[in-house]
Amino acid sequence: MKKILVSVSVCCFSMLVFQNSTYGQTVVKRGVKYDTLIRRHVDKPAIKPAGKPAAKEEIVIPTPEFIDQPYYYDKDSNKLIKLEDATAQMVTRKKTLGLKGAKRSLAVDAVSSKIRFTAKKDIVFIMKTSADVIDITSYIKLYQFAPADQKREVTITSKEGILNDKKEENGKLIPFSVKLIGADNYVIKCGEQLSAGEYGFVWVKNMQLKAFTVFAFGIDWKSSN
């Protein structure tokens, strides 16, 4: 009877040990699972410090090849376009020996210029001058020419006569502003939108001359197509 009790006790003790060892293994496994958990390292993107927005790329306006010569500035392509280099003759006309007045005009051969642009706002010209130039507007003028006898012409001065009280004008003077943008480099902006027609910058520093240099161009209406 004692032997049977001992055997039963041993068996119970073995079962307890087995259970305890089993539970112990379960706890260890759980611990290993959490201790050996591998997380993938991901670099966080660098945060840029707050500041001013990135500045736009500055557009450098080309410098004219020749001095004292206006160039048309094409903003879209950032290029300078050379104007027509023409010569204007000073013509003086008297009517009825001056009794009906007189006028002095500049006349350029050909009715229209070969250099042409489309009518639009903010037409800009660029001109480089010599270092001794103080005021561009004192010796260069922008005129609108009008067709006359297979030529283009603009009246510079007109004098009334005794027998009439009306000035006869042909063409007109176009106002413009000048701004220094670099070393002897100027931008020329017209004071008004240029309409379709013939135009030219004229050197008028010495009005006693018979011939004048004209940098001519034409403005065309914008096509509807």
Delimit the domains of the chain by residue range.
1-39, 71-220
Paired tokens of 20? 């305890």
Tell me what the mean pLDDT of segment 119-126 comes to.
Answer: 84
Token pair of 35, please?
């201790």
Confidence of residue 169 (pLDDT cuts 50, 70, 90): low
* pLDDT for residue 106: 93
> Tokens 């496994």 sit at which residue?
29
CA proximity to 212, closest of 165, 153, 135: 153
Query: What tokens appear for 24 in the block?
Result: 């112990």
Residue 156's pLDDT is what? 87
Q: Is the dihedral of CA 73, 175, 197, 223 positive or negative?
A: positive
Given a contact cutoff of 8 angstroms between Cβ atoms, the answer to whether 85 and 71 are in contact is no
Q: Which long-range contacts (CB under 8 A, 24 or more apart) does 8-15 make?
A: none
Of the two residues 10 and 39, the one the predictor is more confident about is 39
- Is the pTM higher than 0.85? The answer reads no
Using CA atoms, how far residue 194 sits from 72, 101, 200, 215, in Å, is: 13, 30, 12, 16
Joined tokens for residue 187:
């931008």
pLDDT category at 216 given cuts 50, 70, 90 is: very high
43 or 135: which leads in pLDDT: 135
Which residues, other chains included, contact 166 with Cβ-Cβ below 8 Å and sequence gap of 6+? 160
